Amino acid sequence: MSPHPYYNPELHGPYERIDIGPLDLEDGGQLPQCTLAVAVHGQLNAAKDNAILVPTWYSGTSKIMEQVYIGPGRPLDPAKYCILVVNQIGNGLSTSPHHGAKPWAFPKVRIGDDVRAQHRLLTEHFGIRRLALVFGGSMGAQQTYEWAVRYPEMVERAAPLAGTASNTEHDTLFSETLCEALTSDPGFAEGRYGSAAEVAAGLRRHARLWTVMGWSTEFFQQGRHRALGFDSMNDFVDRFMSGYFGPMDPNNLLAMAWKWQRGDVARHTGGDLPAALGRIRAHTYVMPISHDMFFPPADAERECHHVPRGVFRPIECIDGHLGLFGTDPAAIAQIDANLRELLALPA
């Protein structure tokens, strides 16, 4: 099999693909051979107490987390911590629809499945028993909350960025419009397309919806897209947004979207969200982005109130949700300052 033109180590590496064996799934079925792609930055110390877990967001891979959040002198410093960036199932690097013979028949994977798979990877493969920090944005925040609720004794600190513990109805509908943009393309053919190029129109609509909801009205009003080097909105959509999403595999995106829509730690407590959040023992810095149009600060703040050691730290940034990509250095500086403070707290 020739390497995929997008999901490959040249674009997203280095990473190691580690087989963790068969994974039974919460919604039934099984991944007979679950492989997680992991990028490791830094070394585990002898006590194995310097591990930081970084899960990934929708469409993202370990590469963007490395580029934006990890580096010498940063809070996530490989000289001090062993930072494990684990690609989520379905993202194209870990086990994903496009790897199989029938991508359209990939089983439904939940946030909880990812977190159980990551737990097995960390405990059995790396021998890790404590996490100094779990830090993730968007769907990575969903996984961060899931970790803190499911394995409270293992997570010392948690930093969910631009995401929620329980997906809202509004956000679920927004992500449904993303799915529909793809599936309504006749070229999608119920997932049986030959290549992503056959779903180009759908991928382009998907990129436009991301442009409308992913940034913010203020981002465009202040001409931030021009400041990033694009002449016009069309140029921004065509070159940047469609350029980003265009090469991705639609079945992979849909697997992640399905998971995103159903992220909810209250599944542990029969739908009682305060009870689920009440299980968290981690020092938790809750960081929504001020201009996020689908994970707004108000939603994050409501959840934060139920986290025993929750601290609400909104990030001021007109770039909105996609400020996650590091387009606004001032936002990254705020995130770094929060992470530095959080990591300094005694476990």
Write down how long the chain is.
Answer: 347
Q: Which of 138, 175, 216, 242 is catalytic?
A: 138
If one asks whether residue 311 binds its own copies (CB under 8 A), the answer comes out as: no
Tokens at 187, concatenated:
């070229």
Of the residues 185, 264, 292, 319, only one is catalytic, namely 292
The nearer residue to its own copies, 123 or 184, going by C-beta atoms, is 184
Contact 185, 201 (CB under 8 A): yes
Nearest Cα neighbor of 216 from 285, 291, 299 is 291
- Residue in 66, 113, 156, 185 binding its own copies, rule: CB under 8 A: 185
Interacting span for its own copies (CB under 8 A) from 39-47, 110-118, 250-258, 297-305: 297-305
The first and second tokens of residue 138, run together, are 């968007």
294 contacts 174 by C-beta, under 8 angstroms: yes
- Residue from 10, 153, 169, 190 binding its own copies (CB under 8 A): 169
- Contact by Cβ (8 Å): 143, 55: yes
**Closer residue to its own copies in complex, CB, 36/182:** 182
Applying CB under 8 A, the span of 66-74, 263-271, 288-296, 335-343 interacting with its own copies comes to 288-296
What are 101's two structure tokens?
A: 């013979």
Best CA proximity match to 286, nearest among 295, 276, 275: 295
Residue 30 makes contact with its own copies by CB under 8 A:
no
How far is the C-alpha of 233 from the C-alpha of 210, rounded, in Å? 13
φ/ψ (deg, to 5) at 161: -110, 125
Report the DSSP beta bridge partners of residue 85: 39, 54
Of 103-111, 162-170, 325-333, 338-346, the segment contacting its own copies by CB under 8 A is 162-170
- Tell which residue, 68, 269, 40, 53, has the closest CA to residue 158: 53
C-alpha dist (Å) from residue 254 to 165, 214, 286: 20, 17, 27
Residues 191-210 touching its own copies, rule: CB under 8 A, are: 201, 205, 208-209
Per-residue x/- marks for its own copies, 211-250, CB under 8 A? xxx-xxxxxxx---x------xx---x-------------
180 binding its own copies? (CB under 8 A):
yes
Q: Which stretch binds its own copies (CB under 8 A): 104-112, 176-184, 261-269, 331-339?
A: 176-184
Report, in Å, the least distance between residue 243 CB and its own copies: 16
Q: Is 292 a catalytic residue?
A: yes
Q: How does strand 35-41 pair with strand 16-19? A: antiparallel
Integer Rg of the chain from CA: 19
CB of 190 to its own copies, least distance (A): 15
Which residues make up the interface to its own copies (CB under 8 A)? Answer: 168-174, 176-177, 180, 184-186, 201, 205, 208-209, 211-213, 215-221, 225, 232-233, 237, 293-294, 296, 298-299, 302
Active-site annotation, residues: 138, 292, 321
